[in-house]
Structure 1
Amino acid sequence: MFTGGANEDSVRDIIAKVRGAAVEHGRKSDDVRFVVQGGVVVGRTPEEARAKLAEYQRHASIDGVLAYASLPFDPTAHPPETPLKELVSEENFGYFRRFGIDKSVGELLSSFSDLAAGPFFVCGTPEVVADEIERWLDDIGIDGINLRQYHSFDTARDFIELVVPALRERGRLRKNYVEGESL
């Protein structure tokens, strides 16, 4: 299940509720797996990682994010102090749960421009990134991440070349697959 939330506690709550519902319906609690979008900026040194993040932030575009987001309204057409709850009904809030219905349009737009916003973001060396991913797995209860692309194809290449070996060394990613195995 691809999920997310405003913070780590909200994600834990979603996971607990879904796992509980699985058990109530005769399944095992771990029959459901949880994947979140993970933002990872990794460098060989802390300075390299911070420089990459600064470069990605420099190229961040509110218009680009809004086009991709396909929101049911144009936030830029409203004063920044407008509460989101005036523009989106609670039952249709889905996409906005990450931000909170009591936030303003200005806060929503600010969060879009901050690539490091949200509970599943890490910037650092391979060891720092692997530590944080392990924390997400162990403390929050997720089962994996869908890697957010900040720069095609550098984000994926950096993750594969720098983070994957660290996770494999820790036993968090397998080194090979069984012949004929598929998802």
Structure 2
Amino acid sequence: MSNRRNAVLLALAGAALMLISVTMTWVTAEQLGETASVQSIEVPGSQASDIVTAMGLVALAGALTLTIARRAGRWIIALLLSAAAAAALFDTLHAVADPASAAAVAVGEATGLTTTAGSYELGAGPWLGVAGAVLVLLGALLVLLFSHRWTDKRSSKKYSRTASVDDAEPDEFDLWDGLSQGEDPTEERQQ
């Protein structure tokens, strides 16, 4: 579970869950009062939280960048992923703890007043957002704990003629990069 592929997949899955969560219903507000044109509204995550969408995009970009980053870059990306996950986690848990606050703007638009609804019910959206943020955080943790062990054949071949031969197996990303540079990944194994 400590290789680059797993860290990237965790962060990608988490980012996807965060982005999917904002399309789902986070809060259903009911009993809006006599001034409202409807008595029940569903508040999607995109309206309940701007932060989760933004942090989902940050996590998606970070996970994709992680595939090509070198040692120092991986640490920076891991810190950014951690910050994005923490911000999204805080915001989704705030919506879970205070659904009235998360739905306040939508309720105000429906009623034309600053009053609150009679009742609030949580949907699956914030829970999916929490799960996504936790996955991104786990991916960042893998990067912080294990990225120093990941091979980086590209840097040793390109920039150092005196670099020692690395006995570790290259990961899938290194093999694909080698293919795009015209290298045969089976060449070393045939000798």
Structure showing greater Rg: 2
TM-score, scaled to structure 2: 0.26
The TM-score with structure 1 as length reference comes to: 0.27
Higher helix share: 2
